Amino acid sequence: MSLPFTATRAILRKREGLEHPDGEIESLVSGLLDGSVADYQMTAWMMAVFFKGMTVGETTRLTRAMLGSGSELPSWGGGSRIVDKHSTGGVGDKISLIVAPIVAACGLRVPMISGRSLGHTGGTLDKLESIPGYTVHLEPARFMRIVDTVGCSIAGASQEIVPADRRMYALRDVAGIVESVPLIVSSILSKKAAAKLDGLVFDVKVGSGGFSSDRERARLLGQRLVETGTLLGMRCEALLTWMEEPLGAAAGNGLEAAESIRFLRGESVAGDLIEVTYEVAAAMLRVSGAEAEDDARLRVRDAVQSGRALERFEAMVRAQGGDTGVIDDPDVLSTAPIRLEVHSPEPGFVQGVRARAVGEIVVDLGGGRLKADDSVDPGVGVWFHARSGDPVEKGSILAEIHARDLSEARTAASRLLAAYEFGPAAPVRVPLVLETIVPDPSATAADESMRPSR
Ligand code: URA
Q: In degrees, to the nearest 5, what angle opens at C-alpha 166 toward C-alphas 370 and 84?
A: 90
- Is a pLDDT exceeding 50 seen at residue 451? no
Name the pLDDT band for 291 (thresholds 50, 70, 90): low
Give me the active site residues, please.
84-87, 124, 172, 187, 191-192
Quick one: which of 211, 242, 257, 247 has its CA closest to 367? 257
187 pocket-lining for ligand 1 (C-beta < 6 Å): yes
* pLDDT tens-digit series, residues 330-354: 999 999 999 999 999 999 999 999 9
Pocket test for ligand 1, best of 49, 67, 184 (most atoms within 8 A of CB): 184
User: What is the per-residue pLDDT across 53-90, written as a single tens digit (0 to 9) for each?
Assistant: 999 999 999 999 999 999 999 999 988 999 999 999 99
The span from the CA of 190 to the CA of 69, in Å, is: 10
Indicate whether 373 pLDDT > 90. no
Is the CB–ligand 1 distance for residue 153 below 6 Å? no
> Are the C-beta atoms of residues 228 and 243 closer than 8 Å to each other?
no
CA-nearest of 445, 95, 154 to 315 is 154
Q: What is the pTM of this model?
A: 0.94
What's the pLDDT score for residue 289?
A: 86
pLDDT at 452 exceeding the cut of 70: no
* 259-276 per-position pLDDT tens digit: 999 999 999 889 999 999
Average pLDDT over residues 77-106: 96
Q: What stretches of 199-292 show up as alpha helix (H) in DSSP?
A: 215-231, 253-264, 271-287
Separation CA 386–CA 409 (nearest Å): 18
Q: Report the percent of the chain where pLDDT is more than 70.
A: 96
Report the range of poorest mean pLDDT among 23-32, 158-167, 286-295, 342-351.
286-295
What are the tens digits of pLDDT across the range 144-157? 999 999 999 999 99
* Closest of 381, 412, 400 to residue 254, by C-alpha: 381
Class of residue 293 by CB neighbours under 10 A (exposed 0-12, middle 13-18, buried 19+):
exposed
Output the CA torsion sign for 179, 180, 186, 192: positive
Residue 268 has a pLDDT of 81
* String of DSSP letters for 400-431: EEEESSHHHHHHHHHHHHHHEEEESSPPPP--
DSSP SS3 for 90: coil
Q: Is the distance from CB of 317 to CB of 324 less than 8 angstroms?
A: yes
Question: Is the CB of 223 within 6 Å of ligand 1?
Answer: no
Q: Is the dihedral of CA 443, 445, 451, 452 positive or negative?
A: positive
The per-residue pLDDT for 118 is: 78
Ligand 1 within 6 A of 118 CB? no
**Which of 84, 178, 202 best tests ligand 1's pocket when mutated (most atoms within 8 Å of CB)?**
178
Q: How many CA atoms lie within 13 A of 110 on its CB side?
A: 34
Mean local confidence (pLDDT), 294-300 = 88
- Indicate the helix (H) or strand (E) that contains 112: strand 110-113
